[in-house]
Amino acid sequence: MKLSSLLMSAILIFFCGLHSASVAQTPEPINPEELFEFYEAREFVSETGDTLRYRIMLPDSFEPDRLYPLILFLHGAGERGSDNQAQLVWGAHAFAEESFRSEHPAIVIAPQAPSGSFWSDLTWLRGEDAPWSGPSRPLALAHEVVTRYAEFYPADPDRIYITGLSMGGFGTWDMITRYPDYYAAAMPICGGGNPALAERLASFPVWTFHGALDTVVPPELSRAMIEAIREAGGLPGYTEYPDMDHFSWVPAYEDRFALNWLFSQRRGE
């Protein structure tokens, strides 16, 4: 399946760093400091010396003999850096909300990609005949952090989830395409993936969200993935907000039904 010139142009616009959206719909970001009491700052250094800064939220208390879901949250391009704070500006608050946290105690990992880097490998943009390289370094490190916590903390191996917005939406698609047998379910928001590899996700639980008015990451990218997965025999979920621009993660993360769906999924079921 070749990507259309429309999709190619849309991606080029996105990765040139244009983040315009209608002013009328621009929501107020969260002050990261409001979430510091929930998300502890940590740092991971790989065996090769690569560093990934991240925040982690743990359940209020660990109950004996109980396993907890683990969720990886990937931020957007505007939150890249080294302060280990900006990744909390959008989306991460949804998992710290009191009633939700009480209903769904979980381990939440929110890494921060360094400035100028990307979560997603983009070789597929050259077409389906282009070689699919290894994951980007930040994505590989994020996956390594998840596997470490899943090994040493009381994390349920059948309830490891991933979600992300914008650049993190691309990273979410990339991650589950690479590791469809590791993650239990995914919620990519206003991102895009490689339709040529959609067959890998034919039986994977995924629900994606996009704004119909998004001019930063056009909805055609989500539509292409959904169509390709359906053609492969899958039943993915797709919500497109008719009056929403790039900030589709705001209603998506406010959708308790969607988050409950995510946390209800179990690997292999």
Could you read off the pLDDT of 129-183 as tens digits, one per residue? 666 788 999 999 999 999 999 999 999 999 999 999 999 999 999 999 999 999 9
Number of separate domains in the chain: 1
* Residue 34 forms part of a structural domain: no
CATH code of 9's domain: 3.40.50.1820
* Residue 101 forms part of a structural domain: yes
pLDDT of residue 130: 63
* Residue 110 forms part of a structural domain: yes
What string of DSSP letters covers the chain?
-PPPHHHHHHHHHHHTT-----GGG-PPPPPGGGGTTTSEEEEEE-TTS-EEEEEEE--SSPPTT--EEEEEEE--GGG-SSSS-GGGSSSTHHHH-HHHHHHS--EEEEEEPPTT--SS--GGGG-TTS---PPPHHHHHHHHHHHHHHHHS-EEEEEEEEEEETHHHHHHHHHHHH-TTT-SEEEEES----GGGGGGGTTS-BEEEEETT-SSS-THHHHHHHHHHHHTT---EEEEETT--S-THHHHHH-HHHHHHHHH--TT-
* Residue 35 forms part of a structural domain: no
* Residue 257 forms part of a structural domain: yes
* Residue 27 forms part of a structural domain: no
Give residue 21's pLDDT band: very low, low, confident or very high (50, 70, 90): very low
* Residue 238 forms part of a structural domain: yes
pLDDT of residue 64: 83
Show the domain range for 107. Answer: 5-16+50-264
Q: For 51-61, what is the mean pLDDT?
A: 96
pLDDT of residue 3: 43
